Amino acid sequence: MDYRTYIAEKLKIGTLSTEEVASMLEVPPTSDMGDYALPCFRLAKTLRKAPPIIAETLKNSFTEDEVVCGVTVVGGYLNFKINRLRFAEETLKEILEKGEKYGSSRLGEGKTICIDYSSVNIAKPFHIGHLSTTVIGGALYKILGFLGYKVVGINHLGDYGTQFGKLIVAYKRWGDKEKIESGKLRELMKIYVKFHEEAEKDPELEEEARHYFKLIEEGDRESNELFAWFKEITLKEVQKIYDRLNVKFDSYAGESFYNDKMQPVIDELKEKGLLQYSDGAAIVDLEKYGMPPCLILKKDGSSLYATRDMAAAVYRKKTYDFYKCLYVVAYQQDLHFRQFFKVLELMGKEWAKDLVHVSYGMVSMEDGAMSTRTGKVVFLEDVLDKCVEKAARIIEEKNEKLDNKEEVARQVGTGAVIFGALYNNKIKDIVFSFDKVLNFDGETCPYVQYTGARCNSVLKKGGEIGAYSVPSLTEEEYAVVALLGAFPDVVREAGEKYEPSFVTRFAVELAKAYNKFYIANKIIGSEESVKNFRLALTKATHTVLKTSFRLLGIEIPDQM
Ligand code: ARG
């Protein structure tokens, strides 16, 4: 039941629609003030009356019923108390019936959303800087899918550029096939770094690299085989991390996929008179829009990152007919996206308005290490391993006798890394700290997981949940119910604002509310009907905690 709409329908204010009134209703900061409140200040101007008077008039024309059972005026607010028992019964019933589907919707039915995320670079390290795009994109994929959209996860691989010529040179000189096969990506990177060191002494190497890159482009068999092999090694390795983080992709069409799809875009730019030449390079002037020019072709005729992105956008529109196309990429690339979105708009692509840069902040490590070119790279794999290892140690200390400790350590350690990147508003820069993400008492992943495991153990002890009907609710019970009832709205807002942190924060709030309830209200040992109600509340909490975490890609252990 949607209480906002229910109240709004009964209120009828002037010419305002039900939706408008519903959206004005707020949830007061403390529940003794009521469950919903209408601030009448905003109505004062149109109704030409003082807010308390408006509130009083509205109150007098409102008839209470079994759904809304208390209306009061406090200052300029009109406060509503809903029938909490009814609300609790309805909410629990719905959750227990729908199970893991509770919170899902058909909002996005018939609409496709492309999500370009993670988009790693071939033969380059998968480092801590890729954490956010991978888990934010992964969470949006699940959240939007849960809201009924058809989602297409795209890994726009960085698989084009002169670096592949360099890699071939490096491999031919210092590469050892077996070593690379077994040492994989890191071995490949080693020879790449060596290339740069050697090239400083011997500039001929650069020339040679350009030659090989050209060979790749011209379709030379051997060079392309090597290139395909580098790609395979990288993808195999990244796949392991994707599996650990619970993310998946429907397409790995990377930059090189657009080699033969850029010319039509370039031709169209020319035709529409948008292309200009400056120092031999082809550009689109964006001065009018307060931006530097968008580079389309280099002096030597080779294409650029933006050219590929434009061809990719056109291809995606044609292939998927998207409703929205999201790019989960760090804010360093803000300008790049603004530029090529604008160029597409100037080309007359009306769908350019549906391209969205989902920008996010940087992740750095507590000890100052960051993903830079200087070799101080923090591999995501190492961060995951270390966090799982640390989790294992903590679990050993806290609960030595726990069954399948290793599995739990994996769930806790991996979850903590994901949660660390999804807890804050995505645009904020974050400093990653192992101690912080693994703290069992803060607003953290283990805290929520522990609460989930607690629910599970209560349910096990409680046995089957029989019939219940309760005469009243405690404040703690109601606080849990109110959150449970808000879950569908939270998911919808997270999807609308592309902000998975809404779900993360919600899970923490729900865990906190449940623990408060657990401490203040006896479950097992209470009178039968009360016990059953509290077990149902526990079961609903467990379900919703699990769903929220599943949408983020985090597992909740059965025991902890
Ligand atoms: N590979 C790029 C990088 O590491 C990110 C690609 C993002 N996606 C895109 N369509 N431009 O910076």
Residues contacting 468, CB < 8 A, separation 6+: 529, 530, 532, 533, 536
In the reported structure, the alpha carbon of residue 81 is separated from the centroid of ligand 1 by a whole-number distance in angstroms of 50
CA 113–ligand 1 middle distance (angstroms): 18
| Cβ neighbours for 308, distance < 8 A, ≥ 6 positions apart | 160, 255, 258, 262
The pLDDT assigned to 300 comes to 81
Average pLDDT over residues 224-229: 92
Q: Give mean pLDDT, residues 244-268.
A: 95
Comparing 218 with 396, the larger pLDDT belongs to 396
pLDDT score for 183: 66
Please tell me the distance from the alpha carbon of residue 314 to that of residue 256, in angstroms, as a whole number.
15
In ligand 1, which atom is closest to the CA atom of 312?
10
d(CA 214, CA 495): 43
On whether the CB atoms of residues 462 and 542 are closer than 8 A, the answer is no
Decide: 119 in ligand 1 pocket, CB within 6 A: yes
**pLDDT for res 373:** 45
d(CA 82, CA 388): 45
How are beta strands 77-82 and 68-74 bridged, if at all?
Answer: antiparallel
Sorting pLDDT into bands at 50, 70 and 90, what band is 375? low
Mean pLDDT, the chain, rounded, equals 93
Please state, in angstroms and rounded to a whole number, the distance separating the CA atoms of residues 75 and 78: 8
Q: Whose CA is closest to atom 5 on ligand 1?
A: 119
Predicted confidence band of residue 32 (pLDDT cuts 50, 70, 90)? confident
173-214 pLDDT, tens per residue? 988 888 788 767 788 888 888 898 999 999 999 999 999 998
pLDDT at residue 171 tops 80 = yes
For residue 503, what pLDDT band results from cuts at 50, 70 and 90? Answer: very high
Atom of ligand 1 nearest to the CA of 158: 1
Alpha helices in 219-304 (DSSP H): 221-244, 263-271
CA 88 distance to own-chain centroid: 30
Q: Supply the pLDDT for residue 282.
A: 95
Closest ligand 1 atom to Cα of 121: 1
Residue 386 is classified by DSSP as H
Ligand 1 midpoint to CA 429 (Å): 19
Q: Place 117 in a pLDDT band, splitting at 50, 70 and 90.
A: very high
> If pLDDT is split at 50, 70 and 90, which confidence band does 133 have?
very high
150-154 and 77-82 strand pairing: unpaired
Residues recorded for the chain = 560
Question: Does the pLDDT of residue 302 top 60, yes or no?
Answer: yes
Cβ–ligand 1 distance for 137 under 6 Å, the answer no
Q: Which residue, chain included where needed, has tokens 């796949």?
A: 239
| pLDDT more than 70, % of the chain | 98
- Distance (Å, rounded) from C-alpha 292 to C-alpha 338? 11
477 Cβ closer than 6 Å to some ligand 1 atom = no
Q: Per the CATH hierarchy, to which homologous superfamily does domain 3-82 belong? A: Arginyl tRNA synthetase N-terminal domain (3.30.1360.70)
SS3 content of the chain, % helix, strand, coil (to 5): 60, 10, 30
Q: Could you report the per-residue pLDDT of 403-413, keeping only the tens digit for each?
A: 999 999 999 99
Ligand 1 close to Cβ of residue 253 (< 6 A): no
Torsion of CA 406, 458, 32, 49, to 10 degrees: 60
Rounded to 5°, the CA angle 231-162-124 comes to: 45
Nearest CA residue ID for atom 9, ligand 1:
156
DSSP letter at 369 equals: -
pLDDT of residue 417: 97
Tens of pLDDT, residue by residue over 352-363, are 999 999 999 988
With helix as H, strand as E and coil as C, how does 67-128 read?
CEEEEEEECCEEEEEECHHHHHHHHHHHHHHHHHHCCCCCCCCCCEEEEECCCCECCCCCEH
> Ligand 1: does its nearest atom lie under 6 Å from the Cβ of 309?
yes
Q: How many A from CA of 559 to the centre of ligand 1?
A: 39
CA 156 to ligand 1 center in whole angstroms: 6
Query: What is the average per-residue pLDDT within 280-293?
Result: 96
In this prediction, residue 240 carries a pLDDT of 94
**Residues 11-28: pLDDT tens digits?**
988 889 999 999 999 988
pLDDT score at 535: 98
The finding on whether 116 has its CB within 6 A of some atom of ligand 1 is yes
- Measured CA to CA, the distance from residue 395 to residue 409 in angstroms comes to 7
Which whole number is the average pLDDT over 107-123? Answer: 96
Look at strands 150-154 and 112-116 and give their pairing. parallel
Q: How many angstroms separate the alpha carbon of residue 248 from the centre of ligand 1?
A: 17
150-154/275-278 β-pairing: unpaired
Q: Is 127 in the pocket of ligand 1 (CB under 6 A)?
A: no
Rounded distance from Cα 528 to ligand 1 centre (Å): 58
Name the pLDDT band for 368 (thresholds 50, 70, 90).
low
Which residues are known catalytic residues? Answer: 124, 127, 130
> Could you please report the per-residue DSSP string of 478-530?
HHHHHHHHHHHHHHHHHHHTT-THHHHHHHHHHHHHHHHHHHHS--TTS-HHH
Give me the residue label for tokens 């660390």.
Answer: 420
Task: Please state which of the ranges 111-115, 149-153, 397-401 shows the lowest mean pLDDT.
Answer: 397-401
Q: Is any ligand 1 atom within 6 A of the Cβ of residue 329? A: yes
Top mutation candidate among 156, 157, 256 for ligand 1, by most atoms within 8 Å of CB: 156
pLDDT tens digits, one per residue of 44-53: 988 899 999 9
Confidence of residue 365 (pLDDT cuts 50, 70, 90): confident
Q: What is the pLDDT at residue 370?
A: 54
Residue 549 near ligand 1, beta carbon < 6 Å: no
State the Cα–Cα distance between residues 213 and 222, nearest whole angstrom. 12
| 142: Cα within 13 Å, side-chain hemisphere | 21
